[in-house]
């Protein structure tokens, strides 16, 4: 490979390192071209799988500030570069493909600038994806909101039931509502009559005093 071509290849790998949140380094010895194509599809939309040359990748890793790759760069090497939140999906794709195709060996990687051991990549594969976690969170929030709506609506529903029961009873016996107004009338009449009965003795006493004076 001519020097300009090497420089372009290194620049491309550096760009892949800089444009990704993480990367998983693998050895693909024995895999066919068709199997590599299947593996690329299995990694999802947030990952790109590239076959690289070890010497050029060492140079690119140094330029990109990625550490811990030198000792892993031996044998036929391919790297899964991961963008965004796709690390879990990528780890799952690699793990499942390696189970079906033992020729694929996960050698390690890095995530957010920190190195990953093969066991740590396996742990990532056991996690639930961001979409699943968001779905569970949304489900939990919906359940909480439903409970809150029920609690807020419960007094209103009870009031509506009481009002309905009172209306039904009033339709059966109208005096329930009329009786309350009618009961005030006798009390008012009694109040009006009370002063009259009290004034009568006073008038009688006045008459007796007048007659007494005249006599």
Same domain for 64 and 80, yes or no, is yes
Q: Is the dihedral of CA 46, 50, 56, 57 positive or negative?
A: positive
Looking at residues 18-46, what average pLDDT do you find? 92
Q: Residue for token digits 């994806």?
A: 129
Same domain for 110 and 7, yes or no, is yes
Pairwise pLDDT comparison (75 vs 163), residue with the higher score:
75
Same domain for 12 and 101, yes or no, is yes
Residue where one domain finishes, among candidates 79, 94, 127 = 127
For residue 155, pLDDT over 70 is answered with: no
pLDDT category at 86 given cuts 50, 70, 90 is: confident
pLDDT category at 202 given cuts 50, 70, 90 is: very low
Looking at residues 101-129, what average pLDDT do you find? 88
Q: Tens digit of pLDDT for each residue in 138-151?
A: 544 455 545 545 44
144: helix, coil or strand? helix
Starting at the edge strand that comes first in sequence, how are the strands of the sheet with 22-27 ordered?
47-52, 77-82, 22-27, 105-111, 114-116
94, with CB counted inside 10 A (0-12, 13-18, 19+), is buried
For residue 70, pLDDT over 80 is answered with: yes
Same domain for 61 and 152, yes or no, is no
Residue where one domain finishes, among candidates 79, 102, 127 = 127
81: helix, coil or strand? strand
Residue where one domain finishes, among candidates 78, 99, 127 = 127
For residue 16, pLDDT over 50 is answered with: yes
Same domain for 32 and 68, yes or no, is yes
Same domain for 122 and 141, yes or no, is no
CATH number of 103's domain: 3.30.70.1730
- Provide the domain limits for residue 45: 3-127
Same domain for 33 and 90, yes or no, is yes
pLDDT category at 166 given cuts 50, 70, 90 is: low
Same domain for 101 and 156, yes or no, is no
The pLDDT, as a whole number, for residue 57 is: 94
Pairwise pLDDT comparison (44 vs 165), residue with the higher score:
44
Same domain for 165 and 100, yes or no, is no
């Amino acid at each position: 490979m001519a020097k300009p071509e090497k420089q372009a290849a290194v620049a491309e790998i550096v760009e892949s390192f800089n444009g990704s949140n993480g990367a998983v380094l693998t050895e693909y010895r024995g895999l066919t071209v068709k199997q590599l194509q299947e593996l690329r599809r299995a990694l999802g939309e947030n990952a790109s799988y590239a076959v690289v040359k070890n010497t050029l990748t060492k140079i690119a890793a140094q330029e990109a500030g990625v550490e811990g790759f030198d000792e892993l760069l031996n044998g036929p090497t391919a790297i899964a570069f991961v963008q965004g939140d796709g690390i879990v999906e990528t780890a799952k794709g690699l793990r499942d493909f390696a189970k079906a195709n033992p020729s694929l060996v996960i050698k390690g990687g890095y995530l957010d600038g920190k190195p990953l051991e093969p066991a740590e990549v396996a742990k990532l594969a056991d996690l639930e994806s961001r979409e699943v976690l968001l779905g569970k969170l949304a489900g939990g929030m919906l359940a909480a909101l439903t409970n809150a709506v029920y609690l807020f609506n419960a007094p209103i529903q009870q009031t509506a039931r009481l009002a309905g029961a009172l209306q039904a009873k009033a339709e059966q016996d109208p005096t329930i509502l009329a009786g309350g107004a009618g009961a005030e009338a006798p009390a008012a009449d009694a109040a009006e009559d009370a002063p009259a009965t009290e004034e009568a003795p006073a008038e009688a006493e006045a008459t007796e005093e007048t007659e007494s004076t005249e006599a």
